[in-house]
Structure 1
Amino acid sequence: MIGIVMFVAALCLLAVGYPVAFTFGSVAIFFGAAAALIELLPGATLVSVYQEFFLMFSMMPFRIYSIMNNTILMAIPLFIFMGIILQKSELAERLLEAMGVLFGKIRGGVAVSTVLVGTLLAASTGVVGASVVAMGVISLPVMLKYGYSKRLATGTICAAGTLGQIIPPSIVLIILGDVFQQPVGDLFKAALMPGLILVGLYILYILIIAFINKEVAPPIEVVAISRSASIKKALIAILPPLTLIILVLGSIFQGIATPTESASVGAVGAMVLAAMYRKLDWKIIMDSLHETVKITAMVFAILIGATAFSMVFVYSGADYIVEDFLTGLPGEKWAFLILSMVAILVLGFFIDFIEISYIVVPILLPIADIIGLNPLWFAILIAMNLQTSFLTPPFGFSLFYLKGVSPPEVRTMDIYRGVLPFICIQIFVLISIVIFPDFYGF
């Protein structure tokens, strides 16, 4: 049971705000020593416990070395760099301005524009925080100025900003590809249809709400401009990032390049776009590199801590306890799916997707293999669930990103209530993937 106690202790430490990587590493060391002591009782000595502890962690350097040489994970810093460069080139501002001209006269048009821009940002940058902040700064004041409901405005921005978690190229999918040992390109293909259906349902919900209650999303008056001129302006804003998306994702889907190679194309393409927008200079490149290093270091530090945690968890035999419990449930496949999805959803209220991916998913994966679940299908279910964790109160990261840039009249409770319909839509899509896997190509 020491592994189970270790898991609960780690969650408690994360809940009170201890750094993730250090929490996993320190908990692994403490409980590893405790497990070695218990294993050698009653004749344990300091030397024997030390030897057992050293033996337990003897493979750790090799695991760290294999992490650093993992070609799949090399795509993470490249996609992060690509996203940061595009964010600094003011891509979101250009897209929102162009979309606003096209859809502003429709009821709910600005909200629809926000979802469409969120989709393009997700497919070109994939940086959730940057997307939410950019749209919060630009789109939220416009919606509030023209009488949009605070709940609809904030909910739309949060939901649109988190599309980068499921629409390729997604850092979540790259991490899950590493955990599941599945080709990342296959995960990208499998996630595309659920992501686009999610976008369609967001837009449908906004249009229905705007039609039913005409006060929540009134049309806005835009500057008089001819139809052809507005279309031309929109195309100028949309075509460059769309070309980059086609180059990056198209090369992966057609098998021309691996995700890592496509990520390098994306990084270079992002700098070319920034140069086209006359935003590329040495300062932007250096700032982007510094931010990329910080985020990448965080991800890999968490991975190393999670690796140590997993070693002790397996050594203690806790994986067999979990396996026996989950495989012994009545209903087998369906009971396991329901319990695992609920567990990930609840954990997403409190901890980040990276910790869930590297700690919880490896515990569930062997059981999914025993039951015979399609690994791609199971991975997409988890990815969709992890996206929901960005929106779920009280600790959804998107909620905090938006609150940080919202005007004072927007209360936290407005944001919490605003995201609830979009959380329901995400859960609906998640359930549809479970019930109709053939429809999604699994």
Structure 2
Amino acid sequence: MHADFASRIPAWPRFEEADEAALIDVLRSRRWWRGNGDVGDRFETAFADFLDIRHVRAVSHGTAALELALAALGIGAGDEVIVPATTFIATASAVLRLGAWPIPVDVEPDTLNMDVALIEAAIGPRTRAIVPVHMAGQAAEMLEIMAIARRHGLSVVEDAAHAHGARAFGQALGTIGDAAIFSFQSGKLMTCGEGGALVTNRADVAAVSFALHSCGRPKGDTDYRHVMPATNMRLTELQTALLLGQLRRLPDEMARRDLMAPFFETRLAEAGLRPLATRPYVERHGRYMVLAWFDPADFGGRDAGVLSAELRAMGIPAFRCFPPVHRTGMFAPNALEKLASVAGSRPDYASLPTPVADAAAGSVIWFSHTLLLGDETLLADIAAAIASLRTGAPANAAPARSAVPA
């Protein structure tokens, strides 16, 4: 097997002559700043129409969007926010940045989304919000999560960083909670290099978020009326010009991924992996990642980090699953001493039971959505390369059982 996959995988990010022209238009206009241009306003309107939501606030990156959404909903020092144990660290670090405590909840083995059966046990007197993540673009159990939140008077922020264009329960993901965030980082389904957005149907959240993302100034201010402590999260006109092109191409790219994903998942299963399931309520999967369990014993004892590194050496964009957020150095006791002096007693993160998230860190790998923009020959060859590393069973055997029960 030749390590030539990198040259066969469709390049990402994509751009066209129209994108170059849009950037040149902004460049020549000399209106590169959101405050004196109109491209950002056009993107926010277009993205709002695409999602069928009232308000969009484009910001500097998805992590900033999380901080902005939580702050706009009043989350602050000493509060607790429920997050999934398996997610990119920003879902939890945004909570810490506001002086609040993230409370990780274990995830479902077949989706790696937050396990709704565990949420209510994690709610305490300091809980103020829930942040479900639509992992890899598959919807979390939003109707149940919203019902739990309403029973307990909690806000819900959807982390839809992986879910551009995904749908469930008759709505676009990102339009169900009190607010939601999207990421436009370089690997995402829509990208401008770095960027993000807060979206909401709540006028109060939209109004507060404007001042919070723009140095504390209300919309339209020219007299330096800084009405609250805040920072600058504004996105540039150049970046929003790129996002208009990304949004225009998204439906066709989603259709291609929808076509290729079942084929790839079948080939991965034949190679000894177990791709995640898609729940019946999912109307449109975002397909940001293809995630799959494997048994390290079937691959010569390789864990997810080692196996994915070998695949990357072949040019295949494969990566280990996120480690549980509370097992990272960010949650070491000495790293949280200063926060504890402001936010009050620190949760006992070391003792939180998250067996599925712990297992996924060593036994789940993910593949980039860019593979799904390729053809069947490419995907079949990648699966064959994976099977060639399998030592515990013949490559054509039935997929091995995961370390975590289905």
TM-score (normalizing by structure 1): 0.32
Larger radius of gyration: 1
Q: As a proportion of its length, which structure holds more helix?
A: 1
Larger fraction in strand:
2
